[in-house]
Amino acid sequence: MDYTFDFASVVAAWPQFLEGAWLTIQLSFPATVIGFVMGTLCAIGRRSAVRWLSKLCGAYVEVVRNTPLLVQVFLVFFGLSSLGWKVPAFTAALVALVINVAAYSCEIMRAGMDAIHKGQLEAAECLGLTRRQVYWHVILRPAMEKVYPALTSQFVLLMLATSITSQISVEELTATAARVQSETFRPFEAYILVAVAYLALSLLMRAGLWLFGLAVFTRRRRLGTGVAR
């Protein structure tokens, strides 16, 4: 193998990579927040006594979790345009990511809610809390606390999965590497650099989510049990 590595020409394109990384963040952050809220609502729907609602939420989760994100991205991208809606690739990507992460969050949150002890609910009822109060204070917040580590990993996986949106011409980090390599003819170096960038992003994200957990779940902090182990 007589190949001389030349990272200099690739590194010289750092402003482009920075821009790509910024777009990756712009994709993952709203997708995570919106997807989590939607997923939580879906989990509530799934636990509802209304049969059709519960079935519908269940079917949604199963369909999304058993098809590849790449296909979902294509379906949303081409589906929206065949409905006559001209949306930019970024919007289509965001919609697909939200649909995807909502299903996974739903499953995780449902597991957390199901793990709430029945005695807790009965105690809340005895205290005369309304349904909404019970959901918020007794079910949702403790459930979130319980499944926070799983949610953290899922959100990091989502950030990594945004790389797939490069296939519908969203100019995020992976697409940047493709562009830079076509300018410099250094594909290997470009993708190694991008891999390092993703690694840094995922470590930063883990650290950020860990700090967020510490700040939000104050009870856990007082008890001295770690949030994300």
Partner 1 sequence: MVDGGLNLHHLQFLAVGALWTVCLSLIAFVGGGIAGGAIALCRISPLKPLRWLTIAWIQIIQGTPLLVVLFVCYFGLSIMGLELPGLVAASIAMIIYVSAYLGEIWRGCIEAVPRTQWEAAECLALSRWQRMRLVVLPQALRIATPPTVGFMVQIVKNTSLASIVGFVELVRAGQLINNSTFQPFLVYLIIAAVYFAMCYPLSVWSRRLEQRLHFGQRAAAP
Q: Residue 62, interface with partner 1 (CB under 8 A)? A: yes
Least distance in angstroms from the C-beta of 127 to partner 1: 31
Span interacting with partner 1, options 31-39, 123-131, 164-172, 216-224, rule CB under 8 A? 164-172
The verdict on 187 binding partner 1 (CB under 8 A) reads yes
Q: Determine which residue in the list 98, 99, 164, 180 makes contact with partner 1, applying CB under 8 A.
A: 164
- 163 touches partner 1 (CB under 8 A): yes
Residue 194 found at the interface with partner 1 (CB under 8 A): yes
Q: Which stretch binds partner 1 (CB under 8 A): 39-47, 114-122, 138-146, 166-174?
A: 166-174
CA-CA-CA-CA torsion sign (90, 96, 97, 99) = positive
Helix, strand, coil tally for the chain in percent (to 5): 80, 0, 20
Distances from the Cα of 132 to the Cαs of 18, 61, 140, 190, in angstroms?
Answer: 44, 24, 10, 51
Exactly one of 12, 123, 127, 203 binds partner 1 (CB under 8 A); that residue is 203
Question: Given the complex with partner 1, which of 114 and 125 has the nearer CB atom?
Answer: 114
Q: How far apart are CA 125 and CA 79, in angstroms?
A: 46
